[in-house]
Structure 1
Amino acid sequence: MSLQDFIEKLEQRDELHRIHTPIDPNLELATITNRICKAPDGGKALLFEKIKDSPFPVVTNLFGSKTRTALALGASSLTTFETRLGQELKNAQDANSAHKLRSVLDTPRLKPQQQGDNLPLSASGNLSDLPAFRFWPKETRTNLTLPLVMTIDPDTGQQNCGLYRIQCIDDKNASINFKPGSDGGQHAAAWARKKQLMPVVIVLGCAPDLIWAASAPLPSGCSEFDLVGWLRNAPLSVSARLHQALLVPADADIIIEGYITPNATAAETPFGNHSGGYVHNNSASLLNITSVRWKKNAICPATLVGPPPMENNYLAKASERFICALLRIDYPQIRDLHMPQETIFHGCTFITVEEMSERQRHDLIRSLWHSGPLCRAKLLILLHRDCNLRSPSEVYWRAINRLREDRMMVEGGKVALDATDIEPIQRLKEDPAITSKVAKRWAEYGFDPN
């Protein structure tokens, strides 16, 4: 399912709003998108048909609801996606979740299939041909916010497809901010050690399941392309680019090719962040652009990054369900987890657990901090299995009432709170007979019976 196919499907389901009037990508597009993202249900996807000084239509808020995110993953809901993954992981004959996931994804019939070496790209140009996105007033450079960045390990040949922040410097140069510890960052370091140019291909616009896969917290050694094959139960079609070194999806809309010179960097300028402020003065890898090409009727996707709720919250919700399925394999005591959007997801995690000893709970916290997808969580809150994780008032009520110094853990700037029941508690409940009696006599008390 290409990006165009997905947009057509959204329109058929009344999940898309077309904007026919010309729109300026400098702040105006972002302001419209921001208002829609703040709607209670996440709002509709937006297709801007006419963009000032650019030949490309732009689509935003593609993943801006649980319904659309599940549809992008080929599932009826995120729950069914999680259930399917959890069952296949459970059935895999391996020791831990990472090995089980590799086993599930490493299926020959689902491996990407190369459809030729050349995509049907009909035009070429420069970075200035792309929509000049500025999303917040103090941003001084234009940005690419849904770029799939393809890199390759020079030693193993393992390819990575990741989502990284990109700022356009001029027609032929851009900066790529590889996250610390990311596969892309490790690849850049490996090429630098060899003192060789690192090939990079950036894809703008492709099947939505690959966009999510590029953001997913995959264990080392797992392929985003294989994950898409598993989601579809069919192989991803790919084509080779940049001297055959890198594979890209065959349905790519826009392809940017270039090289990173070893240790070449550029200072980022202010960039609006999901924390609600500007990020700047970070050093990023400098990418020299050799070509920008696109297919006929290409559409450029973009996402607005800023204070929640935003579209990326729903992408992260799919990753949350992915993480939960993996953690249940390694830690059967975990019943469920929830990452509140206000904490930018990786900042805080609520976890419900089965009955465990105090030592077991503390060992669980240390293990989660030291490895796996929750190692960056600044705050972990463990709760009894019957807690409604998605009710902030219940979580906070339980946490505050169980707050004791000996039930807190602090390590390297991270905090964990063991808010499970201190001792067996008899929950306060009304007498059923009296509750029924009061309900029947409600009108007698002078209250509206409805």
Structure 2
Amino acid sequence: MTTTPAYNDLQQHIAALKERNLLIEVDRQIDKDSEMHALVRWQFIGGMKEEDRKAFLFTNVVDGKGRKFDIPVLVGGLAANRSIYSVGMGSSVDEIQAKWDNAISNPIDPQFIDDAPCHEIIEDGDSLSQPGHGLDALPIPVSTPGFDSAPTLSAGNVITKDPETGVQNMGTYRCALKAPDRLVVRMATRVGGAGGYQHYQKCQQMGITEMPVAIVLGCPPYVAFMGPQKLPLGVDEFTVAGGLAGAPINVTTAKSVDLVVPAEAEIVIEGFIDTTKVEPEGPFGES
């Protein structure tokens, strides 16, 4: 079954921002390792009024060595200011809290679809570890040039599953690039550990050495907003996203791991977290 969603995907959200003059498109060459985040951050530290901030869409991205990427990068596209946030929420700023309250109180289960857009292009196997493929194909920015230890995904939705109950969790955790086929994920974002970290601990206790994970980039705003939301542990964020949308969120089964992912995601990175070892992570500057 293929179903037209009752909510905006990321491309429609970008179009809505552009229509409202909330988006700056940058088509000149921008270095993701030294310029991109530094440029956007001036809005927050340079004395600009909050209502004047914009989302940025970079369409001509290179790295510090001049290598060009085919994938554009959106920065500040979800909540650079209240107006941008309200576009993603599909309501006025004054109505956002009530919309959240209603969604949490009235969750809607997602619906599975076939022919999911996120599966239009699939890369797997040995090609993932080749230069220019796998993670190496993604223009992952350096958030704080001169301080961060690695290019880092800072706005992805990391999906894991409780190995006992089967209930998924979706959190926004930073993911630092280690190799063309490896990221390191930091999940300790709340007292007692984030939902994903608790799944990690359960896997360790149960002797599960590989924990399935899916890292989602560029999903519909209603889904993206679930990552940083501190919902009660054990609540499947897709159901609350459905509450925000007022309709089921389209989902599909990941290709290589037993997890459910948003069907309209731009990119889904699938893999496993080794529960038998840890790696150095950071520093990472967030301000």
* Shorter-normalised TM range: 0.7 to 0.9
AA in 1 matched with 2:119:
P
**What's 2:16 paired with?**
9
Asked which structure has the greater RCO (Cα within 8 Å, sep 6+), the reply is 2
**What's 1:178 paired with?**
187
Looking at structure 2, the residues matched to 122 and 224 of structure 1 have their Cα atoms a distance apart, in angstroms, of 26
**Cα deviation code 1:126-162 (max 9, x no counterpart):** 2111114112212231111111101001110000111
TM superposition shift of 1:84: 4.5
Looking at structure 2, the residues matched to 147 and 83 of structure 1 have their Cα atoms a distance apart, in angstroms, of 25
Please, which runs of 5 or more residues in structure 1 have no aligned partner?
90-100, 273-304, 307-450
TM superposition shift of 1:213: 1.4
Cα pair distance change 1:51/1:112, threshold 3 Å: same
The residue correspondences of 1:67-216 to structure 2 (distance < 5 A) are 67-77=83-93, 79-86=94-101, 88=102, 101=104, 104-105=106-107, 110-116=108-114, 119-122=118-121, 124=123, 125-136=133-144, 137-179=146-188, 180-196=192-208, 197-216=210-229
Cα pair distance change 1:270/1:75, threshold 3 Å: same
Percent of pairs with identical residues? 29
Measured on the aligned residues, the alpha-carbon RMSD in Å equals 1.8
Looking at structure 2, the residues matched to 133 and 123 of structure 1 have their Cα atoms a distance apart, in angstroms, of 23
**What's 1:229 paired with?**
242
> What SS class does the counterpart of residue 214 from structure 1 fall into?
coil
* Alignment partner of 1:55 out of 70, 86, 100: 70
The residue correspondences of 1:23-42 to structure 2 (distance < 5 A) are 23-38=30-45, 39-41=48-50
**Cα deviation code 1:180-237 (max 9, x no counterpart):** 4211001011111222211001011111121111111111232211111111101100
> What SS class does the counterpart of residue 69 from structure 2 fall into?
coil
* Alignment partner of 2:274 out of 261, 271, 288: 261
Looking at structure 2, the residues matched to 243 and 256 of structure 1 have their Cα atoms a distance apart, in angstroms, of 10
Cα pair distance change 1:255/1:76, threshold 3 Å: same
> What SS class does the counterpart of residue 184 from structure 2 fall into?
strand
**Cα deviation code 1:83-124 (max 9, x no counterpart):** 3455x59xxxxxxxxxxx4x522xxxx210010276433253
Please, which runs of 5 or more residues in structure 2 have no aligned partner?
1-7, 63-67, 124-132
Is the contact made by 2:212 and 2:257 (CA closer than 8 Å) also made in structure 1? no
* Alignment partner of 1:22 out of 20, 29, 36: 29
Is the contact made by 2:217 and 2:265 (CA closer than 8 Å) also made in structure 1? yes
AA in 1 matched with 2:121:
S
Is the contact made by 1:25 and 1:134 (CA closer than 8 Å) also made in structure 2? yes
Looking at structure 1, the residues matched to 217 and 99 of structure 2 have their Cα atoms a distance apart, in angstroms, of 29
AA in 2 matched with 1:116:
D
> What SS class does the counterpart of residue 270 from structure 1 fall into?
coil
> What SS class does the counterpart of residue 171 from structure 2 fall into?
strand
Is the contact made by 1:116 and 1:240 (CA closer than 8 Å) also made in structure 2? no
**What's 2:5 paired with?**
none
TM superposition shift of 1:173: 1.5
Report how many residues are paired.
Answer: 256
AA in 1 matched with 2:278:
T
TM superposition shift of 1:76: 1.5
Is the contact made by 1:152 and 1:158 (CA closer than 8 Å) also made in structure 2? yes
Cα pair distance change 1:34/1:156, threshold 3 Å: same
- TM-score, structure 1 normalization: 0.54
Is the contact made by 1:162 and 1:214 (CA closer than 8 Å) also made in structure 2? yes
Looking at structure 1, the residues matched to 163 and 19 of structure 2 have their Cα atoms a distance apart, in angstroms, of 44
AA in 1 matched with 2:160:
T
Looking at structure 2, the residues matched to 83 and 167 of structure 1 have their Cα atoms a distance apart, in angstroms, of 35
AA in 1 matched with 2:141:
F
- TM-score, structure 2 normalization: 0.84
Is the contact made by 1:152 and 1:187 (CA closer than 8 Å) also made in structure 2? yes
Looking at structure 2, the residues matched to 240 and 10 of structure 1 have their Cα atoms a distance apart, in angstroms, of 30
Cα pair distance change 1:85/1:166, threshold 3 Å: closer
The structure that has the greater radius of gyration is 1
**Cα deviation code 1:247-296 (max 9, x no counterpart):** 11111111111111223210113211xxxxxxxxxxxxxxxxxxxxxxxx
TM superposition shift of 1:81: 2.2
> What SS class does the counterpart of residue 43 from structure 2 fall into?
helix
Cα pair distance change 1:14/1:258, threshold 3 Å: same
Say whether 1:250 aligns with 2:263: yes
Looking at structure 1, the residues matched to 71 and 156 of structure 2 have their Cα atoms a distance apart, in angstroms, of 15
